[in-house]
Structure 1
Amino acid sequence: MLQITADYQAAGANRHPSAADWDKSGILAFGADRNIALWQPQGSDSRGIFEILKGHEDVVNAVKFLPGSQGILLSGSVDKNLSIWRQNASTRHYHCIQTLHHQENRNHQSSINCIAVAAGSKIFASGSADAIVKIWSLDEQNVASLQQTITIAPRFFPLALALSPLAGAPDSYVLAVAGTKDIIQLYVLDGQKGSDFKIQATLAGHEGWIRSLEFIRENDKPDSDLLLSSASQDKYIRLWRIHQGKELPAAAATPDPSLGAFMPGKSLSNKAHRFKAQDLDFSATFEALLLGHDDWIYSTKWRYGDNKLQLLSASADNSLAIWESDAATGVWVTTTRLGEISAEKGSTSATGSTGGFWTGLWSPSGETVTCLGRTGSWRLWNFESQQDRWIQGVGISGHTQSITGIAWSKDGDYLLSTSSDQTTRLHAKWKRGNQESWHEMARPQIHGYDLNCIDSLGTSQFVSGADEKLLRVFSEPKAVANLLSKLCGIGGSNIEEMPDAANMPVLGLSNKAIEAVADDVEVVNGNSHGRDAVDPASIVHKSTLNLDHPPSEEHLSRHTLWPEIEKLYGHGYEISCLAASHDGTLIATACKASSIDHAVIRLFETKGWLEIRPPLTAHSLTVTRLRFSADDKFLLSVGRDRQWAVFERDADEKATYKLADSNPKGHTRMILDAAWAPATTSVFATAGRDKKVNIWAKDESSKAFICRSTISETHPVTAIDFLDSMVGDVAYLAVGSETGFFAIHSVDFKNGFSIQMLAVKFPRLAPIFLPLYEVPSDPS
């Protein structure tokens, strides 16, 4: 049996403040579409995602490790289900041990938005879009059972929960609930009087939805007060104190009237909310107002270390802030601000701001912080004690929507991927010393339409198609060529003839070539009348392009675009598929079609970028896949009309193809993919929604392609490909289904095209999961 291991996994994180958590073991878990990705940000190998957990049926909104539980992970999803995962002590892999399914009436009946856990406890809370909070308890086998259902009144959707034991009151807990109202509700479980949480206080003060809640002990003393942070869309963070005792804490007893000066027309309430638990008196009071962010605040995370409290906040203003209380005055101030400086707060522009940070996390040691941005990528900073500052490290990135096409460069040095998230990404292997790891090295195209297909035209060009009826051709800039050469050992050709870099003009879709300027050159920003002003985003300094590590998210989105060199027109509808010939001289394309008139294949030559007429005709519905044979002698097409067609190249007119064979009943359902066998022009495979893969071979007497073998699968087959070289008389065929399972088969050409499965099917992966698998040359 072949041994196949995943060498690289890239997945964009879900944009939800509760969709990530960092365990004390060093593992960071985050929602990636309907799955959970695991990453070790402080790993020495910079590997990135090392495991993806499947099980949910829709987007994962909430992920939480249970503190002190030896590897228990909780997750909640739009599919209304809660899942409990446990790490195997020997293999270190996680597996699902229980799913609290929504089909049970007592469980959630709407999207789960947040989960709260308490340190040293086996109870947890979950909040759902049905305006209900549920309390759960884990037994000794970590099996969860429902303890209480809380219907929120007045009704609002919970977006944030926080749970903590009460000091001095064993088995008593306080639960904070907030969401689509500007209030925080405190529920208290009195461990002496029963097992139900009851509402005891409503904290007012915010003026927008509340996105994050987090409890922490003020210090390591057992009777220390609890502090609660709340982050809101009103751009403010509020701190609340839960104090044990009849007397009020000093801040509540002696309010500072000067605080109101920061908010004109508003007064800060210091009302004390009193409650009891196990006959002990408690009070909840407003503690401090933290001002400094310029946009919505999505998350706050506490950390206690070095005898001081620190609060990490992430905001839509593209900043990550670290707050500390001033030792002399007690005022909370920002000691560190990380992220971007941008005038376009919360913008979604391609080369402008990244649209804000959705969540920020501390490492267990506090020496590293990470944050998640709008593009699904993680940024990372490490604290350098010798320099006394935070240094940006290597984060990870990935597509946030379905990947619609992948293509290797012609020499196999890097991989291009394109997606419905409207980006094209370049992945390559970072080589340094004895270490190697895959990373996103460039983002050549950031588009305004969903991208559908891509293919490489050589070592430094590619063509892509989108939902816009035309194709765009891109050429590598000097900045990316130098980066790939320096970090990946990929030697570029004609680097001096390349433009320095590219940028996307405001309100434009075409990347334009630009020149980098020296660091000491001053750019004149327009004339005296303000005309011909230079967009600051288009100015690139040469030092910016010189990196010794994979580019950060900001660098990827601003400085690794490829200039567009050509547009190819002709189709009447959205581009459905394309293929470039192996010699790079031809591009074949097709578009979405419901009639014979549009179900044509257009050919373009790459010397003058002109269409070769007339277009090729054979299909009556959308062509789903185009493939050139290894020697470009044949062009294979398959479509939704259930047929395949083979076009043969004219011996004299190399740019001309003519229909050589077709089968209108190639499959009983639509055909979704096709592939030529290596080192031959007489064998190809087709895959269809009828759950079959057919192997077709040319009959030497009739010159027609006939079906010689069939692979039957349990689900519709959506993708196939042959290994690009033969092993003896055997070809390897990878087969993937719409459920995410795939298998490797061997096809023996000399033994009647007999087929043998060589690799077991892998678990379902998310549609945004991009795997690279390494197959050994020795099949044994």
Structure 2
Amino acid sequence: MANISSEFISIGCNRTTHAAAWAPNGLVAFGADKFVALYDPLKLCRGIRIQLAIISGSADHTAKIWKQNGQQQWINSATLEGFTGAVEAIATMHAEKVADESKDLIALGSADGKIRIWERSIQDQDTALSYLPGTTVPIIASGHTDKVINIYIYQQSSKSFEKVYTLQGHDNWVRSLAFATYTGEPAEESDGTKTHTLQTGDLILASGSQDRYIRIWKISPYVSNQPQQEQQQTQPTDPNAQTEFSIMFEALLMGHDDWVFSVSWERPTAVTMENGTIKYDQPMRLISASSDKSMMIWSPDASSGVWVNDVRMGDIGGNAALGFCGALFGPDGKHVLSYGANGSFHLWKEQEHNLWSPQVTVSGHFKQVEQVTWDPQSRYLVSASLDQTTRLYAPWKRQEGDEHIETWHEMGRPQVHGYDLKCVAFTHNWQFVSGADEKVLRVFDTPRSCVESLAELTGETKMKEEASSRPLGANLPALGLSNKAVFENDIEAMENTDENHTTLQSYTQSSATPTSLLETMAQPPYEEHLIQHTLWPEMEKLYGHLYEVMCVDGTTDGHYIATACKASTSEHAVVRLFDTRNWKELPTKIAAHTLTVTRVRFSHDDRWLLTVSRDRFWSLSERKINPVSGEVEYSLVAKNKAHARIIWDCSWTHDDRLFVTGSRDKTFKVWQQNPQQEWACISTIKCQESVTALDLAPDFKNGSGQIQLWTASKESPHEWTLWSEVDKRLCHVGVVRSLSWRSTNDGRFQLASGGEDHSVRILNID
């Protein structure tokens, strides 16, 4: 039985509001496709020190409560059902008193237009939940697409929540609500004028809307001498607390230039008084996130009480798109975390008062991952995704005191494309070819800054020896569509020649500045840096296919690549080969299939080219030297209808004696060349799900997201046995699209995988 553990998981945050929450113990839970992902932004060590529960809402019309069991494993402790639409809003409260018992309340808003209240002890829209000031009576505020905020109060007589008032003022959808209790000193009078109108214990409601504005509302005990037109009385709510309350509009916060998606208060802190009692202090700081690519921190001025914008963080200009979906204060109030519409996280730390600096955080794809592959020396991993990016992952090795720390991070984003990316293959250590939902393949070279940064961060200092011949970096000109290579003499010419000022501008308007291309990273890059300063220059475009590219692979010597595209006829189901030394297409094409070729694989010695297809055939071509021209060509030598359904993937053993094919017919088959030089099936292994990804060292995976490891001895290659099955908690929750092995310096194997669930994973296998 193999010892399998998780080394690294990369996944982006769901691109929706309220997709993340920051717990008091510092743990962040966020929605990541079908996962609830856990992440500690402030600690290198991962783990939970206090008991907590997580509530998640989903498009499957349910909400789930997650808790840790005795083995520190997260389990689903309860499923809340009964919804007829997606659960889109959640608010929770540990009730001091509801009726005569202490219970936890959960308010869930769903797309069916209803809010359902659950007690945590139950057996069988945006919302905010709190207490009326000075009471134990719960109050709920809910925002709606009809531009209003409804207020609900718990009624003891009916044991239910009843709507008591509707707040109007916003001119568009209400996207976010947040309650806070004012714990500061009451207003002081100066020259007969109060500095503000808040009293200790007042309940403050912040609302953010698509009308670009934030409104602050105050709920306080009713005082009869207040002007009648400025107040709205609520009805008595509890027979044991005959109190009336007023709801007043307190402030209008203007500053965002686009929809406000999120508002959130800084978390209250516990303060120990001189007499030993503990008092909770609620800082009056509010953070908002908007699609204008900014976050703002708001607080009332100490002297006038007027709400002002203290800090604005985010992007100004550039090509970072779509802005932020949400922002949260950390438990200490010194950190803020935001998540964007491209699935990214942004972490900021307050170094001094109102002086914030970015910090290293996690990142990942926000759409399906189509392929993962190691570079030829297995020093870093590259992934391609339908989110139109390729991403580079590598370990960050560092020494902190006496402790050696190694954590994996996204170190670069070589390609940010306009088409969904489907495949990627290396030609040598620092160059890869990618294919997307277009007819063109693109060739990318590693810039010098990337090589030097990887050498610095991974500790692989030998990499620097390969950096001198590389371009400095890449830029996407303001009016360009391709990443252009920038060399050292280009920068010197632009800096020394006034006539080239307009040329210099073409490099700086949309992407990196020439000076930034010379910088070596001392830590993993921030999201802003990834988007603009880690591009790889595009060196070539390869034409020939008439439909969208499906797959690509390169020879071990790096001299040739094979590609295929979508096809419905034999005319288009050909495999084209290109010489990487001059990027010209070879005269001969491999015409062995009638439908789309789903995978092409060169053997490790480059002698064989294996292809599999939707037509259920595999074909094998052999490398030969043309006797007339003296050039290399691959000629078809074998073809077999191997499966009953589409063949998704294939792979060679390390010695090229065997290859394996995996199909939708829930089998994978092992093939070997017999003494008659014919390739025959020597073993068929049946599985419970479709086989969609294969990589031999050896491995198998099925459509449920499960990963299994199979072995066979060199002496009996026809006898395959299940060696180990990866724990489902370490597996994907959807189809695994790609697998790729590497061996480490300490003798272990690591298996990288990419899946339909948006995640890239690396497993340690001992």
The alpha carbon displacement at 1:80 in A equals 1.3
Residue identity matched to 2:707: F
The partner residue of 1:563 within 537, 549, 552 is 537
Determine helix, strand or coil for the equivalent of 2:244: strand
In structure 2, which of residues 628, 650, 661 is the aligned counterpart of residue 674 of structure 1? 650
Counterpart residue type for residue 247 of structure 2: A
* Correspondence for 1:80: 61
Task: Determine if contact 1:136/1:144 at 8 Å carries over to the other structure.
Answer: no
Map 1:10-25 onto structure 2 (within 5 A): 10-25=10-25
The SS at the match of 1:441 is: strand
What is the one-letter code of the residue matched to 2:298?
W
The CA distance in 2 between the partners of 1:73 and 1:522, in whole Å, is 59
Does the 8 Å CA contact 2:263/2:286 hold for their aligned counterparts?
A: yes
Structure 1 residue 426 corresponds to structure 2 residue 407: no
In 1, the alpha carbon distance for the partners of 2:620 and 2:572 equals 18
User: Does the C-alpha gap of structure 1 residues 220 and 748 become closer, same or farther in structure 2, counting only changes over 3 Å?
Assistant: farther
Deviation at 1:83, TM superposition (A): 1.2
Tell me, in whole angstroms, the C-alpha distance in 2 between the residues paired with 1:686 and 1:72: 44
Match of 1:97 in 2: 77
Q: How big is the shift at 1:207?
A: 1.1
Indicate if the aligned counterparts of 2:28 and 2:39 stay in contact, CA closer than 8 A: yes
Residues 1:662 and 1:248: Cα distance change in structure 2 (over 3 Å): farther
C-alpha distance in 2 between matches for 1:248 and 1:489: 72
Kindly state the Cα deviation for residue 276 of structure 1 after the two structures are TM-superposed: 2.5
3-state DSSP class of the match of 1:556?
A: helix
Query: Which whole-Å CA distance do the structure 2 matches of 1:404 and 1:276 have between them?
Result: 59
Residues 401-410 or 532-541, more deviating = 532-541
Q: CA deviation at 1:636?
A: 0.6
SS of residue paired to 1:600: coil
Letter of the structure 2 residue corresponding to residue 204 of structure 1: Q
1:194 positional shift = 2.2
Alignment of 1:294 with 2:257, yes or no, is: yes
Q: Aligned equivalents of 2:455 and 2:504: distance in 1? A: 39
What is residue 232 of structure 1 aligned with on the other side? Answer: 209
- SS for the counterpart of 2:285 is strand
One-letter identity of the residue aligned with 2:456: K
Native 8 Å contact 1:27 1:41 kept in 2 = yes
Moved more, 92-101 or 470-479: 92-101
Distance 2:429 2:521 in 1: 21
Cα deviation, 1:543-596, whole Å, max 9, x if unaligned, reads 573321100111000011111110111111100111011110001000011111
Query: For residue 475 of structure 2, what is the amino acid of its counterpart?
Result: N
| Secondary structure of 2:371's aligned partner | strand
Per the alignment, residue 285 of structure 1 pairs with: 248
| Matched pairs, number | 693
C-alpha separation between the residues in 2 aligned to 1:497 and 1:123?
Answer: 63
Q: In the alignment, does 2:139 pair up with 1:165?
A: no
Partner Cα distance (1:481, 1:631) in 2? 28
Give the deviation of 1:542 after TM superposition. Answer: 2.5
Letter in 2 for 1:537: S
Q: Supply the distance in 2 between the matched residues of 1:180 and 1:479 (Cα, whole angstroms).
A: 48
Task: Indicate yes or no: 2:632 matched with 1:623.
Answer: no
**8 Å contact from structure 1 (residues 231, 237) kept in 2:** yes
Report the residue type matching 1:136 in the other structure.
W
Letter in 2 for 1:295: D
C-alpha separation in 2, matches of 1:656 and 1:641 = 24
Match of 2:608? 634
Measure, in 1, the Cα distance between the counterparts of 2:307 and 2:30: 30
Q: Which residue type is aligned with residue 655 of structure 1?
A: V
Q: CA deviation at 1:633?
A: 0.6
Aligned residues of 1:525 and 1:532 also touching (Cα < 8 A): no
Distance 2:701 2:230 in 1: 61
Give how far 1:523 is off.
9.8
For the pair 1:276 / 2:242, whether they are aligned, the reply is no
Q: Are the equivalent residues in 1 in contact too, given 2:435–2:552 (CA < 8 A)?
A: yes
- The letter for the 2-side match of 1:30 is F
**1:508 & 1:127 partners in 2: Cα distance?**
45
Give me the CA root mean square deviation.
2.6
1:645 & 1:742 partners in 2: Cα distance? 26
Equivalent residue for 1:132? 114
The residue type equivalent to 1:676 in the other structure is W
Matches of 2:710 and 2:150 in 1, distance apart?
Answer: 58
1:123 equivalent in structure 2: 105
C-alpha distance 601-187 of structure 1, shift in aligned 2 (>3 A): same
C-alpha deviation, 1:247, in angstroms = 3.9
State the alpha-carbon separation in 1 of the partners of residues 359 and 179 from structure 2.
29
In structure 2, the residue matched to 1:201 is 165
* Cα offset, 1:538, TM superposition: 3.6
| Percent identity (aligned) | 38
Deviations along 1:284-331, one digit per CA (max 9) or x if unpaired, are: 111111122222111111123466321111111211211111111001
Structure 1 pair 86–522 and aligned structure 2 pair: CA distance change class (3 A): farther
Give 1:537-576 correspondences, 5 Å limit.
537-543=510-516, 545-576=519-550
1:608 & 1:32 partners in 2: Cα distance?
43
CA shift for structure 1 position 277: 1.2
**One of 446, 452, 473 as aligned partner of 1:501:** 473
- Describe the shift of the 1:291–1:771 C-alpha distance in structure 2 as closer, same or farther (beyond 3 A): same
**Mapped partners of 1:532, 1:557: distance in 2:** 19
Aligned letter for 2:59? V
CA distance in 1, matches of 2:457, 2:115: 50
1:398 equivalent to 2:370? Answer: no
TM-score, normalization: structure 2?
0.86
Aligned mate of 1:512, from 484, 489, 495? 484
| Secondary structure of residue in 1 paired with 2:588 | strand
Is the partner of 2:298 in helix, strand or coil? strand
Contact 2:27 2:39 in 1 (8 A): yes
Alignment partner of 1:655 is 2:632 = yes
In structure 2, distance between residues paired with 1:493 and 1:112: 54
> Structure 1 pair 144/472, CA: closer, same or farther in 2 (3 Å)?
farther
Give the match for residue 152 of structure 1.
none
Gaps of 5+ in 2: 96-102, 186-198, 270-280, 734-755
Shift of 1:534: 6.1
Deviations 1:352-390 (A, max 9, x none): 1332111111111212111001221111112225x8732
Aligned residue number for residue 749 of structure 2: none
Secondary structure of the residue that 1:630 maps to in structure 2? Answer: coil
For residues 725 and 201 of structure 2, the distance between their equivalents in structure 1, rounded to whole angstroms, comes to 55
**Structure-2 separation of matches of 1:248 and 1:540:** 62
